[in-house]
């Protein structure tokens, strides 16, 4: 049995894809250092977490998820070293499920790493993430809902704060695994060395970051015009549109490839608001009071202005250009009969 299991629990939009890619693409390097990233691919960890948390999609069990957590734990049980599981769905898990996850990994010691990034960058990133998963939530409506959720909080606002309430998530996990087994890693502000987050993560886990190839493609954001085109596309699709088809054609092909290829040609989403600064200050205060081990600096959670354009002010001509580019991509990528 692995003597230690590291759970990287997110939060969402905190460099998780970057860390997961580095782990998945360097399995031989991990093995040489006595580490295991279980599953034939990261998808197996996604299925495993869905399985152990009992999560479904649209009320349906996700194919491949039944028994997936047991398969991961069987692989961990056969390994002598440290295993790493990285899945951001773990972050907002209710306490009873956290206890069950930790218990299922016994007798291994469980250590938890939570990466966090400032809300100033996460707010536009989470809006885009929602669009890539089929929502048609307008930018102005989105900002209004997450700023002042109120008693009639929207479903989307609930989801946002379920993943972005860093102090609440950290407190739950630290209470279950013990404060000495919980580490918070902050994402550096823009302009820092691209490998710094990886080096911070490795310092917590006990890896030597040097031999790892971290040159894979980054998880690029959408430009503001393409984000608006994607929103309009989602709004036009009929209710009950097949999820599997949406994910294959829209999410994984158009949104994550075709549209992100234009990110350098389009203006990014600009964002800055006083309420975000105030909310971030409260997060920093609460996290400080928890007395957690922090790698990085909690001051990196203070947002910096995001240069770009307000999506509500993107010219129609720019949206049309982005829409034509999206159509061109789909035509070029469509399978030849």
Calculate the average pLDDT of the chain.
94
The verdict on residue 311 lying in a domain is yes
How far, rounded to the nearest angstrom, does the alpha carbon of residue 229 sit from its chain's CA centroid? Answer: 22
Which is more confident, 150 or 116?
Answer: 116
Shared domain for 171 and 254, answered yes or no, is no
pLDDT classification of 334: cutoffs 50, 70, 90:
confident
Q: Does residue 138 belong to any structural domain of this protein? A: no
Confidence category of residue 148, pLDDT binned at 50, 70, 90: confident
The answer to whether 14 touches 200, Cβ cutoff 8 Å, is no
183 in any annotated domain = yes
Measured in degrees and rounded to the nearest 5, phi and psi for residue 183 equal: -130, 135
Instruction: Mark whether 281 and 205 lie in a shared domain.
Output: yes
Residue 33 covered by a domain: yes
- pLDDT of residue 215 exceeding 60: yes
Q: pLDDT of 161-212, one tens digit each? A: 999 999 999 999 999 999 999 999 999 999 999 899 999 999 999 999 999 9
Q: Given a cut of 70, is residue 301 above it in pLDDT?
A: yes
Cβ-in-10-Å burial (0-12, 13-18, 19+) of 255 comes to: buried
Q: What are phi and psi of 13, to 5 degrees?
A: 60, 35
Does residue 15 sit within a domain?
yes
- On whether both 192 and 229 belong to a single domain, the answer is no
111 and 172 assigned to the same domain: yes
Answer yes or no: do 187 and 321 share one domain. no
CA distance 44 to 53: 14
Whether the predicted pLDDT of 336 surpasses 80: no
Answer whether residue 127 is part of any domain: no
User: Looking at residues 228-237, what average pLDDT do you find?
Assistant: 97
Q: List pLDDT tens digits, range 117-147.
A: 999 999 999 999 999 999 999 999 999 999 9
* Contact present, 326 and 226 (Cβ < 8 Å): yes
Residue 29: left if φ>0, alpha if ψ -120 to 50, beta else—which one?
alpha
Strand 35-36: give its sheet, edge to edge.
35-36, 82-86, 4-8, 109-116, 182-186, 293-295
CATH number of the domain where residue 109 is located: 3.40.50
188 lies in the same domain as 323: no
Cα–chain center distance at 142: 18
Q: Are 36 and 79 in contact (CB under 8 A)?
A: yes
Residue with tokens 């100033």: 120
Is there a domain that residue 137 lies in? no
- Asked if residue 311 and residue 205 are part of one domain, the reply reads no
Q: Tell me, yes or no, whether 190 and 59 share the same domain.
A: yes
Residues 314 and 294 in one domain: no
Residue 89 has pLDDT above 60, yes or no: yes
**240 to 134, 138, 237, 246, 315: CA distances (angstroms):** 11, 20, 9, 10, 31
Residue 329: pLDDT band by 50, 70, 90 thresholds? very high
* Residues whose CB is less than 8 angstroms from the CB of residue 93 and which lie 6 or more positions away in sequence, other chains included: 9, 53, 101, 172
Q: Is 125 domain-assigned?
A: no
Do the beta carbons of residue 224 and residue 314 sit within 8 Å?
Answer: yes
- Total domains in the chain come to 2
Extract the tokens encoding 218. Answer: 């980054």
**Of residues 63 and 205, which shows the higher confidence score?**
205
Same domain, 180 and 80: yes
Tell me, yes or no, whether 209 and 318 share the same domain. no
Statement to judge: residues 173 and 32 lie in one domain: yes
Percent of the chain surpassing pLDDT 90: 84
Identify the domain containing residue 322 by its residue range: 224-268+307-333
Those residues with Cβ within 8 angstroms of residue 234's Cβ, 6 or more apart along the chain or in another chain: 131, 134, 135, 136, 250
């Amino acid at each position: 049995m692995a003597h230690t299991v590291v759970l990287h629990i997110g939060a969402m939009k905190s460099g998780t894809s970057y860390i997961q890619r580095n782990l998945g693409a360097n399995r031989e390097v991990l093995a040489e250092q006595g580490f295991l990233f279980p599953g034939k691919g990261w998808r197996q960890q996604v299925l495993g977490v869905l399985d152990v948390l009992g999560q479904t999609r649209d009320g349906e069990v996700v194919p491949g998820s039944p028994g997936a957590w047991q398969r991961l734990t069987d692989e961990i049980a056969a390994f002598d070293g440290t295993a790493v599981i990285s899945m951001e769905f773990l972050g907002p898990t209710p306490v009873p499920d956290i206890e069950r996850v930790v218990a299922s990994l016994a007798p291994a010691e469980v250590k938890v790493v939570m990466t966090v990034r400032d809300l100033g960058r996460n707010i536009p990133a989470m809006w885009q993430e929602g669009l890539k998963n089929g929502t048609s939530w307008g930018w102005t409506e989105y900002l209004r809902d997450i700023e002042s959720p109120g008693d009639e909080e929207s479903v989307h606002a609930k989801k946002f704060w379920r993943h972005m309430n860093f102090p609440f998530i950290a407190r739950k996990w630290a209470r279950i695994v013990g404060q000495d087994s919980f580490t918070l890693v902050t994402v550096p502000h823009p302009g820092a060395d691209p490998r710094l987050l990886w080096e911070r993560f490795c310092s917590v886990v006990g890896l030597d970051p040097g031999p790892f190839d971290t040159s894979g493609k980054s998880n690029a954001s959408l430009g503001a015009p393409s984000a608006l085109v994607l929103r309009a596309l989602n709004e036009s699709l009929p209710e009950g549109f097949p999820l599997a088809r949406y994910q294959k054609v829209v999410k994984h092909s158009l949104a994550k490839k075709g549209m992100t290829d234009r990110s350098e040609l389009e203006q990014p989403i600009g964002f800055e608001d006083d309420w975000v600064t105030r909310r971030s200050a409260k997060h920093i205060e609460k996290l400080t009071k928890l007395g957690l081990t922090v790698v990085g600096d909690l001051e990196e959670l203070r947002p910096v202005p995001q240069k770009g354009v307000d999506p509500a002010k993107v010219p129609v001509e720019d949206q049309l250009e982005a829409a034509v580019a999206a159509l061109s991509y789909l035509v070029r990528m469509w399978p030849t009969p």
